[in-house]
Structure 1
């Protein structure tokens, strides 16, 4: 008598169901991880921009610089006396008040892959909104 080698249809269906269950668990976790990475990139850029603002102010009689960076995959340096290049796909908009006493600035960061999420940092260094 010859023995048959291979898998039965039931065994194959069970494997497919198990793979489906694992995918149903893993895909939402992966999506959540990507969202956290986008927020981390925005927060890191806000902190780095804060450092660049303070360096700029030290060289510019205490004045801060208005910064507007469009979110692009290949960002360029801010320039104009400020040594700062944002992360890819992160957009930044800074509002500066150099006439106030003390002088102030507020920066909002967005990520092109995370629509609707905006992180904001003020001169005090507190990041809010994300």
Structure 2
């Protein structure tokens, strides 16, 4: 988010049930919750990250490949859809175990996704 969309973005972490109301009250963009602008799974079956990338960065082959990996990692029934999905899912599942709050999780996860982006870019040769 901060790298490609808004370097000054503020993240607010609330219970999933409160995302829609906070989104409306604060003119925010909700993620991964019912009635959020980017729900966990939309009507087409895509995860929030995949939808965001398709909407804003469909011309970026690295982000599009990342979106396929994240999509597969996000849903257990799709883990075999990309060879990197199981590793990403396993590592991501550990974040709440080794962090003390959602802000720390987001910060540390940023490094993981930056590294994934760099690896894809290196392998694609762009």
Query: TM-score with structure 2 length normalisation?
Result: 0.25
Query: Which one has the bigger strand percentage?
Result: 1
**Greater RCO, 1 or 2 (C-alpha within 8 Å, sep 6+):** 1
Query: TM-score with structure 1 length normalisation?
Result: 0.25
Pair member with larger Rg: 1
Query: Which one has the bigger helix percentage?
Result: 2
